[in-house]
Structure 1
Amino acid sequence: MITSKCKTNCRGGFFLKYQFNIGDLEFSKPIVQGGMGIGISLSSLAGNVSKNGGLGVLSSVEMGCDYPNYKTNRLLANRQALEDHFKRAKAISGNRPIGLNIMVALTQYEQIVKDAIEVGVDIIFAGAGLPLTLPELTRNSATKIAPIISSKRVAKLLLKHWWRHYKVAPDAIVLEGPLAGGHLGFKLEDLTPERLLEQSLPGLIPGVLEEIKPYEDLVGRKIPLIAGGGITTAADVRATLEAGASAVQIGSRFVATEECDAALAFKEAMVNAQKSDIEIIVSPAGLPGRAIHNHFLEEVSAGLRKPKNCPFNCIKSCDYKTSPYCIGLALMAGKCGDFENGYVFSGANAYKITEITTVAALMNELLDF
């Protein structure tokens, strides 16, 4: 439930302070940090977002890639990294809630969900595919669940499926609009400039809320809608909340913070990006994505990056024999700032980011309206 009250700030003006809940989890600021992999949303970023009143979210994708035993026992390294980063994030935040983003497209998706429950993750955000069995995987656990959807139609399908098969409704729902970064739940034809003009995030919210309402009545509780995709300014936050969202999800702006776990070069690539640099690509995961143009992506387009083998078997739909490149290696290189062998996922409005700031300053800026 959103509550608001007016307070006077140090400049003598006024701003609205929103609070929202996901069940018994309380947040003083309606900001959820998007889970960005590989190695972008780890304990430093997630912990500091939660420390400052929002909800920090770890990304589960190859979390242990910089662990010494990663090459010899990848799954064990990833499991250990999940536990380590969750504990660190909780410590940084002062034991506030920490979420985990899990891609349904991952070959280890079900095991990661089970590991998240064992570790004690407060809430799982599941996207990049339909998390149809998530209620079964998390049954009898204290971990909350929030599917990531892209439209009213997908919300209707998922809500109906969960209720019919499990008598479960989500603890929250994330709506990612077409201006988001990373993997997108849209078809390529829906991402043309003309179609994007017809699909504003605030315009998508009322339809999803219509689908949520009957299930709120069934379970007798609020199911908060968290909306994201292209949110960059305080005006964007305000418009999204006024359209009916309980909170916003923001990714790209948190990359350009001192606390973000990525290399400085990765953050600078976001800050230096021009509008013309941001493009739609097709990921080896089989989904459209949005990224910052560079030489590596030019080579991908030219067919010069064909993988010779599959080092990770990380994505269910990826076949290295037909894949344009290895997304695991590309994202690992990117997070280290190696853009000869990788790239940066980004939201459509990342070109508006002009500086690297702190998490605390950014969150205050986004709510200064």
Structure 2
Amino acid sequence: MSNKITKLFNIQYPIIQAGMIWNSGWRLASASSNAGILGLLGAGSMYPDVLREHIQKCKKATDKPFGVNVPMLYPNVEEIMNIIVEEGVKIVFTSAGNPKTWTSWLQERGITVVHVVSSVKFALKAQDAGVDAVVAEGFEAGGHNGRDETTTLTLIPMVREQLTIPLIAAGGIATGKAMLATMILGADAVQVGSRFVASEESSAHQAFKQVVVDVKEGDTQLTLKELAPVRLVKNKFYDEIQELYKSSPSPKQLKELLGRARAKRGMFEGDLKDGELEIGQIAGLIHDIKPVAEIVRDMLKEFDLAKQEVATF
């Protein structure tokens, strides 16, 4: 299955495993790369020395390409970027910041750069910044969403209409049928997050993985737009956010409630009541925890069957 994205990353299939905080360690990234897709380490949940360790372990676990996702809102981003260069990582996905800040610097060091956006406006800014590809992430996603709540189904064709560089679709994609749908709409590949949270190799706590499997339609909600919009499972912490919103809180008050390491407590340590539990709407279609290789195999099989079904219409 060869196209612009598989050639860009030198991978077998046009699927990217999202670099999610507290979920995407070296085991998940290497298993994804070994399955023929692009694995990403989630640097957002790693101190610099921890990231270096994960990169080194990933290099030992796979001889296939892998990358690092770097949310640029973190204060130690310069140290993170230097470690990526020192360790010879050749693919970086940037997010939550201005792509002009690091794109040229990374590319001058032989690194392929992809930027994550949530709107046509920011997709064009990323293209103007010279990135090699763009991830357009719809409102359905679990991580840092845009404030406009544009769904994947509408975002992808609108971005495709304006963009000339390769386009990766994200948000609400966990099946082969969804992969085919977004590629028909103009995407060259898909980025998958939530489905890989519920994998055996994910670094998420087992209790959180089970929550993902148990989530039903309506059990998640996009919130905290004043800080960085995230989609959360409705739990005690989520209820406290909603109660605070009744008093029209300032961003400072929301930060005080969020506190420190709330996402780590929820997703990595398994605090299902007071932790921040980020997951996409597509969790309602995730019913089991499986090895990465099996998840990829199932997606590709469904993708091929869906193509055959579409051909008969």
- Do they fold alike, i.e. is TM over 0.5? yes
State the Cα deviation string for residues 151-176 of structure 1 (Å, max 9, x = none).
2221222323x2xxxxxx22221111
Q: Which of 54, 72, 75 is the equivalent residue of 1:85?
A: 54
Change (3 A) 1:22 1:181: farther
Correspondence for 1:204: 155
Q: Which one-letter code corresponds to 1:208 in the other structure?
A: V
Matched, 1:36 2:5: no
Q: Which stretch shifts more, 247-256 or 332-341?
A: 332-341
What is the TM-score normalised by the length of structure 2?
0.87
- Compute the displacement of 1:61 (Å): 1.8
- From the CA coordinates, give the structure whose radius of gyration is larger: 1
Distance in 2 of aligned mates of 1:136 and 1:232: 32
Distance in 1 of aligned mates of 2:178 and 2:45: 32
Q: Which one-letter code corresponds to 2:123 in the other structure?
A: A
Please give the residue correspondences for 1:1-369 in structure 2 after superposition, counting only pairs within 5 Å: 3=2, 20-23=5-8, 25-37=9-21, 39-63=22-46, 78-93=47-62, 95-160=63-128, 162=129, 169-185=130-146, 187=147, 190-191=148-149, 199-213=150-164, 223-282=165-224, 286-303=227-244, 323-326=255-258, 328-334=260-266, 335-368=268-301, 369=304
Change (3 A) 1:320 1:152: closer
Which structure 2 segments of 5+ residues have no match?
A: 305-313
Aligned length: 297
Distance in 2 of aligned mates of 1:207 and 1:297: 32
Contact 2:232 2:238 in 1 (8 A): no
Distance in 1 of aligned mates of 2:231 and 2:284: 13
Correspondence for 2:308: none
User: Could you say which structure has the higher strand fraction?
Assistant: 1
Q: Which one-letter code corresponds to 1:348 in the other structure?
A: Q
Q: Which one-letter code corresponds to 2:186 in the other structure?
A: G
Which structure 1 segments of 5+ residues have no match?
A: 4-17, 64-77, 163-168, 192-198, 214-222, 305-317
- Compute the displacement of 1:209 (Å): 2.9
- The SS at the match of 2:275 is coil
Distance in 2 of aligned mates of 1:142 and 1:45: 25
Change (3 A) 1:321 1:290: closer
- Compute the displacement of 1:321 (Å): 6.1
Counting aligned pairs with the same residue, the percent is 32
What is the TM-score normalised by the length of structure 1?
0.75
Change (3 A) 1:361 1:176: same
Distance in 2 of aligned mates of 1:43 and 1:79: 14
- The SS at the match of 2:169 is strand
- Compute the displacement of 1:210 (Å): 3.7
Contact 1:48 1:89 in 2 (8 A): no
State the Cα deviation string for residues 31-68 of structure 1 (Å, max 9, x = none).
1011111x2101011110000000011111232xxxxx
Distance in 2 of aligned mates of 1:20 and 1:323: 38
